[in-house]
Structure 1
Amino acid sequence: MAPSYSKYDVRRRLPNPSAAALLVIDMQNYFSSIASPILPSLNSTVSISRSASIPVIFTRHRHLSPSDNPTLSEWWSGDLIFDGTPESELLPDLNRSPSDRIVEKNTYSAFRGTGLEETLRGMGVEEVIVTGVMTNLCCETTARDAFVRGFRVFFSTDATATGSVQLHEAAIMNLAYGFAYLVDCERLQKGIGLKGRG
């Protein structure tokens, strides 16, 4: 059965390797039950991106104290990811390179208060490919924020995940309707993977 967002997947485009960056959102131990099932697709996406010389940037969600984001602390009843704990660390099986940047954040958007936009602009990046967890929270918010800031957005359907299929597909439906081109490993491999070797 086709996913519920299929009818909105009407705008087709592939990233331009010379203008794109891959964002890997919050693939941390705290989210391991959600993140582990997509690890093969995510690591493949990272490999495809590297083959096309697309820079890879990881984000890590962590809090120094409940007061650094009182709204989030209230919303999640204080269940936060604190810096320095094993839960805050990136999954050990991620396809990471020592040279990859890690952006530290304490809210849903990877752009808010992190300097990410300035970093991307300084690298000549005009497009972002969003992967990671959770589809409907940090990934979706980062994708929307990127779009509003003028970046062309590509959103992975098989290298993102959240707590339920319903939430995952609802987020992708909204993004496909108004914010992002949808991609998956197969589309990227056929498109930018070939360009990267050309």
Structure 2
Amino acid sequence: MAADSSYEKYEIRKRNPDPKTSALLVVDMQNYFASMAKPILNSVLTTVDLCRRASIPVFFTRHRHRSPTDYGMLGEWWNNHLILDGTPEAELLPEIARLASAEQVVEKTTYSAFRKTGLQGRLAEMGVEEVIVTGVMTNLCCETTSRDAFVRGFRVFFSTDATATSDPELHESTLKNLAYGFAYLVDCNRLRRGLFGN
């Protein structure tokens, strides 16, 4: 984003994440969303690498549906164009290279990564108080997860360059809304400085 991007007037709160109490949420970097995910892939991978180096646990979410019984309102809203479990579209992008032995996948059926997933309990067990949010789509799953995390008592850090959606206006609107009321904004450079001081 350009330095004079309009969300900046709402970004009056600045803070760095605490690696001792943070977790990274990588939201829905799946084949289904490749057209949106590929342009931010380098920023997402950089964010993942920074968090791994800082010993911040990494969680990957995967949106998928097993049957019409778990469609909920998404079935009506998206005319049943949903991600079906067991299809190539439901899988994480191969470039993500999740560390299977150490990094968990959170399976979800709606926009929030907290809804009926057990994520809050897992984070609480690990002593996590802050979440860093990356992935797609900025204005749907990333924003809803961030708002949900905030109301559940987590401090939220939202990436400006490691999130993406279908339209720049929607991306910008989310950044404005979250900066105003829900999240500290970060990008790869700010995260690097905040975690390592360089």
- Output the TM-score relative to the length of structure 1: 0.96
- Once residues 96 and 42 of structure 2 are traced to their aligned partners in structure 1, the CA distance between those partners, rounded to angstroms, is 9
Name 2:179's counterpart in structure 1. 176
Consecutive unaligned residues in structure 1, runs of 5 or more: none
Q: Which residue pairs with 2:155 in the alignment?
A: 152
Q: What is the Cα-based RMSD across aligned positions, in Å?
A: 1.1
SS in 2 for 1:187: helix
Instruction: Summarize deviations over 1:15-71 as a string: whole Å, max 9, x none.
Output: 000000000000000000000000000000000001110000000000001221231
SS in 1 for 2:96: coil
| Match in the other structure for 1:20 | 22
Q: Deviations over 1:63-121 (max 9, x none)?
A: 00122123110000000000000000000001421121000000000000000000000
| Residues 67-146 of structure 1 aligned to structure 2 (within 5 Å) | 67-98=69-100, 99-146=102-149
CA displacement 1:138-179 (0-9 Å, x = unmatched): 000000000000000000000000001100000110000000
1:42 aligns to what? 44
Letter aligned with residue 5 of structure 2: P
Q: Runs of 4 or more off by more than 4 Å in structure 1?
A: none
The normalised TM-score by structure 2 is: 0.96
Moved more, 133-142 or 65-74: 65-74
Identity of aligned residues (%): 65
Quick one: distance in 2 between partners of 1:74 and 1:193? 46
Distance 1:95 1:159, change over 3 A: farther
Contact 1:43 1:95 in 2 (8 A): no
Report the AA paired with residue 82 of structure 2: L
Tell me the SS of whatever aligns to 1:155: strand
Is it true that 1:9 corresponds to 2:11 in the alignment? yes
Alignment length (residue pairs): 195
Matched residue, 1:192? 195
CA–CA distance in 2 between the matches of 1:157 and 1:136? Answer: 12
Partner in structure 1 of residue 165 of structure 2: 162
Mark the runs of 5 or more structure 2 residues left unpaired by the alignment.
none
